Chain A
């Protein structure tokens, strides 16, 4: 076979690899999607998240008792057991627990997402700087993460929340302030591992600036494991903001917050089990769903890591 014959074969092979389906997905993405779909638990997680998102967006418009979302009072109907009128029963002010659990989805998911976006952005940026440039700045950043990670996160979040004052916005800030170090460490470790790789060196040798090497070559490759962590953490962020609400350091009444609802129900354990139970199930499902999603994503994006479940 002549050399001229071999080249066209190579040229013909190339489009095969990058052929795109009508969805605009390449071969690699399609394989990843197929892998994700083969894991039933991940699909369950995704389905629950889909439902939760739909509820968070549209829920408040379809709830049976829109007035109960905030501070309505129907003392005549207080602490009624679950029935056809009130699927999840009513609370101490006679408000429909089902309505308030549905309305709480928006509060919880917004809190979870905002916390993770803030912690992810700040943590990854600082971690990337520490890993890529190193030096005194990098050392300083990492020592700061040590300090944050030495204090149990809930205690630190409580301290931040107490110092900032109550309210949903402050709780989101408090929890992000506690969570950025986790992302910082992970981002630094990934960036250090990639800093001396051949593609980074190649980019630098053709004249790319250091910032360009970091942001367009190294960081995109460092993202997958960080994203997997983020997807799992959304659930735990929902849990932590609810815990702060439960303690009384978070969202304040009458905002429908799952943690606050559980705390209110604590005073009526003997006569109204439903009051605390249903908001708890909502938190459980949310955390569970993001855990399942994260595990599925890990299998796809970070095949070397071992599964957690």
Chain B
């Protein structure tokens, strides 16, 4: 199968999955015990206002009709309206997604830049003190509650030491850079606003480090395991036998092969970090999809949650395809069956 056909087939397979996601979240939104229209109308609403809101959100149609309207709307760019923000969900998603993407991207950068070298170190010094330390760090990394770690960072680095800001994407009076990508760091870099760049990086640091922890731990231990496995292969023994130095053996012979499975792990961790960002965004008041999801869930505003689930489903599926394609490109033994 050619690469193009393979990618096309995988992309087409996303459609039924997303259809299922829409059905699942729609079904969920209909079993909500509270009445969203009542919530939106508020306690002082007159019966007329209440009826108008029901009509406005299409809540007085039969349920199958509501689903059909929702589904056909999805294809026309109408993802429903948020009762809370009173704006179309798609507009909200466009505003909040870049913030989440920036946060997850930075967290993954930290996780890979620290996790891979530390994993190599742990493998090269397997079962020696450095490896034991990395084992404990990894255990803590996956066991620490992200929302609690976030609070500890706020207390220590924000309030006690006063080094880093504890909430938001920008300092309170700073102006956002002109929107090019929606990523404040990239936008301020491209438009040469150095003060804003410094500010947005400082704002990013604590949430990104918090979010990177579990991913870093997983990538580190995974790199260690695959590198150790590769170091036991015959061709590594051959390299040693012909007199290659240990550094050459690790960097030229073993590492290249060992890092291929790590690509998969990085892709998976990216997906997990998107889920984990919900808690980190909530604590750091980071205006991304996670905070949007939390606020919507708390006010039983289901249209945004359905939109977020679809968007995450789409992103997750695309990441999976990217990972598989990259893996195939790096390792010719993998078939695209």
* Residue positions of A touching B, CB distance < 8 A: 143-144, 146-148, 150-156, 158-165, 235, 239, 242-243, 246-249, 259, 262, 265-266, 269-270, 273, 276-277, 279-280, 283-284, 287-288, 291-292, 306-309
Q: How far is the CA of A161 from the CA of B32 in the complex (A)?
A: 10
**Contacting residue for A309 out of B18, B31, B221, B305, CB 8 A:** B221
Chain A residue with Cβ nearest B139? A309
Contact between chains at A247 and B279 (CB < 8 Å): yes
Specify the chain A residue showing the minimal Cβ separation from B283. Answer: A266
Residue in A146, A154, A287 whose beta carbon sits within 8 Å of that of B145 in the complex: A287
Tell yes or no: B264 within 8 A of A by CB.
no
Kindly state whether residue B174 has any CB partner on chain A within 8 Å: no
Q: At the interface, yes or no: B33 with Cβ under 8 Å from chain A?
A: yes
* Bound-complex Cα distance A164 to B297 (A): 11
Closest 6 CB pairs of A and B: A152-B275, A280-B148, A147-B20, A287-B143, A162-B297, A150-B313
How far, in whole Å, are A144 and B34 apart by their CA atoms in the complex? 27
Q: Is the CB of B294 within 8 A of A262?
A: no
Given A162-B297, A287-B145, A291-B142: A154 and B135 interface contact (C-beta under 8 Å): no
Verify if B96 is at the interface (C-beta below 8 Å from A): no
Contact (Cβ within 8 A) A306 B225: yes
Contacts of A277 in B (CB 8 A): 152
Given contacts A151-B25, A159-B302, A308-B221, 4 further A-B contacts (CB under 8 A): A150-B316, A151-B312, A246-B279, A309-B135
Contacting pair A243 B17 (CB below 8 A): no
Q: Nearest-CB distance from B289 to chain A (Å)?
A: 9
Min CB–CB distance A219 → chain B (angstroms): 28
Picked from B16, B278, B300, the residue with its CB within 8 Å of the CB of A154 is: B278
Q: Are A162 and B282 in contact (CB under 8 A)?
A: no
Inter-subunit contact B297/A150 (CB<8 Å): no
- Say yes or no: is B57 at the interface (Cβ < 8 Å to chain A): no
Contact of B279 among A154, A235, A283 (CB under 8 A): A154
Contact B305 A159 (CB under 8 A): yes
Main secondary structure, interface of A, reads helix
How far apart are the CA atoms of A153 and B293 in the complex, in Å?
A: 13
- The complex places the Cα of A309 from the Cα of B221 at a distance, in Å, of 7
Question: Closest B-chain residue to A247, C-beta based?
Answer: B294
Q: Is the CB of A158 within 8 A of B145?
A: no
Pairwise interchain contact B298-A247, C-beta atoms closer than 8 A? yes
B192-230, CB < 8 A from A:
221, 225, 229
B275 touches A155 (CB 8 A): yes
**Is B147 touching A246 in the complex (CB atoms < 8 A)?**
yes
Bound-state CA distance A163–B28 (Å) is 6
A304→B188 CA distance, assembly (Å): 50
User: Bound complex: CA of A173 vs CA of B163, how far in Å?
Assistant: 42
* Contacting pair B305 A155 (CB below 8 A): yes
User: Which residues of A have CB within 8 Å of B147?
Assistant: 243, 246, 259, 262
**What's the minimum C-beta distance from A227 to chain B, rounded to whole angstroms?**
19
| Contact A155 to B139, CB < 8 A, known contacts A243-B145, A266-B151 | no
Convert B9-39 into 0s and 1s, putting 1 for each residue whose CB lies closer than 8 angstroms to a CB of A. 0000000111011001100110111100000
Whether B138 is near chain A, meaning CB under 8 Å from some CB there, is yes
Interface residues on B, range: 35 or more
> Which of these, B16, B29, B34, B151, contacts A143 with CB under 8 Å?
B16
B282 and A247 within 8 A (CB): yes
Residues of A close to B82: CB separation below 8 A: none
Contact A163 B29 (CB under 8 A): yes
14 A-B pairs within 8 Å (CB atoms) are namely A150-B17, A155-B275, A155-B293, A155-B305, A162-B297, A165-B33, A246-B279, A248-B298, A266-B283, A269-B159, A270-B159, A277-B152, A284-B148, A291-B142
Cβ-neighbour of B274 out of A152, A266, A270, A283 (below 8 A): A152
Instruction: Decide: A280 and B152 in contact? CB cutoff 8 A.
Output: yes
**Beta-carbon contact of A154 and B17 below 8 Å:** no
| Contact A283–B145 (Cβ < 8 Å) | yes
Residues from chain A with Cβ under 8 Å of B275 in the complex: 152-155
Q: How far is the CB of B213 from chain A (nearest CB, A)?
A: 12
> Closest CB of chain A to B324's CB: distance in Å?
15
Q: Known contacts A151-B312, A158-B305: does B297 contact A291 (CB below 8 Å)?
A: no
Q: A270: which B residues are within 8 A, CB to CB?
A: 159
Decide if B279 touches A158 in the complex (CB within 8 Å). Answer: no
When A269-B154, A277-B152, A287-B145 are in contact, do A162 and B279 touch as well, CB less than 8 Å?
no
Quick one: closest A residue to B279, CB to CB? A243
**B18 — nearest CB in chain A belongs to which residue?**
A150
- Residues 160-179 of chain B: 1 if any A CB is under 8 Å from the residue's CB, otherwise 0? 00000000000000000000
A156's nearest neighbour on chain B, judged by CB, is B309
Query: Of residues A156, A262, A279, A307, which shows the largest number of chain B Cβ atoms within 10 Å of its Cβ?
Result: A156
CB-nearest residue of chain B to A150? B313
B309 touches A144 (CB 8 A): no
Indicate if B317 sits at the interface (CB-CB under 8 A). yes
- Interchain CB contact under 8 A, B20 and A249: no
The verdict on A159 contacting B25 (CB below 8 Å), with A146-B17, A154-B279 known, is: yes
Interface string of B212-250 (1 = CB under 8 A from A): 000000000100010001000000000000000000000
Whether the pair A292, B139 counts as a contact (CB closer than 8 A) is yes
A309 CA to B138 CA in the complex, in Å?
A: 7
Closest residue of B by beta carbon distance from A262: B148
